[in-house]
A and B are shown apart, each in its own frame.
Chain A
């Protein structure tokens, strides 16, 4: 059974803190994605990765960075958290680049105070 896990369901951080959101998939997928979901804005792509140590910017990369040292793990990093980064963060993985289904994790609801 396909599984994508995220390190936390809920997280509360303070402005200026460095925040790590971890995502792990057990399907040997090549591709991994980070999205944020905000009311009225839908899912927006932050960063994605098509291979280990490879990363590409999505539509809203500002204020974020990512790390993919191992195939199964894709980390999203908020270098200095700000209140406008309060959001639901979703990780996903897929076998192929565009045509294959994306499998999503349960999401992390991050609140930055």
Chain B
């Protein structure tokens, strides 16, 4: 079974500050890396799907990078806002998709 690790488990960030967190995954049998945002009382929603080493994706203030050789992806949030408070999940996909346990982000006003 693949082991997808996310760190930190929980994070408190002051509104307006920038932040980042990590997803680590086994680099063998890599096919795709997904990031999802999961807000309380809602369904997880897709942020990015990345497949190539060196990929960088951006959506507004949120961006992600991928290093398949060393088995990690970073998610960056620039200028955190209250609406960014959520759990951020990453998942590695090969034959099936394996989710990490998530990073719970709290934005402090």
Contacts and interface: CB of A to CB of B under 8 A. Distances in A.
Interface of A: 4, 33, 35, 40-45, 48, 56, 58-59, 90, 97-107
A48 B96 contact: yes
B99 interface: yes
B49 A100 contact: yes
A43 B51 contact: no
Given A99-B32, A106-B43, A42 B1 contact: no
Q: Which 3 A-B pairs have the closest CB atoms?
A: A42-B101, A98-B93, A104-B43
Interface string B81-109: 00000000101011111111110000000
Contact of A98 (B42, B97, B100): B97
A98 B44 contact: no
B76 to A, nearest CB: 20
Interface size on B, as a range, is 20 to 34
B96 A101 contact: no
A103 B97 CA distance: 13
Contacts of B45: 104
27 contacts: A33-B97, A35-B99, A40-B101, A42-B99, A43-B44, A43-B99, A44-B99, A45-B98, A45-B99, A48-B96, A58-B96, A59-B98, A90-B43, A97-B93, A97-B96, A98-B93, A98-B94, A98-B95, A99-B49, A99-B51, A99-B93, A101-B46, A101-B49, A102-B36, A102-B97, A103-B46, A107-B43
A101 B34 contact: yes
B31 interface: yes
A50 to B, nearest CB: 10
Given A98-B97, A104-B43, A42 B102 contact: yes
Between A40, A42, A90, A103, the greatest number of chain B beta carbons within 10 A of the residue's beta carbon is seen for A42
Given A42-B89, A43-B89, A98 B1 contact: no
Between A48, A102, A107, the greatest number of chain B beta carbons within 10 A of the residue's beta carbon is seen for A102
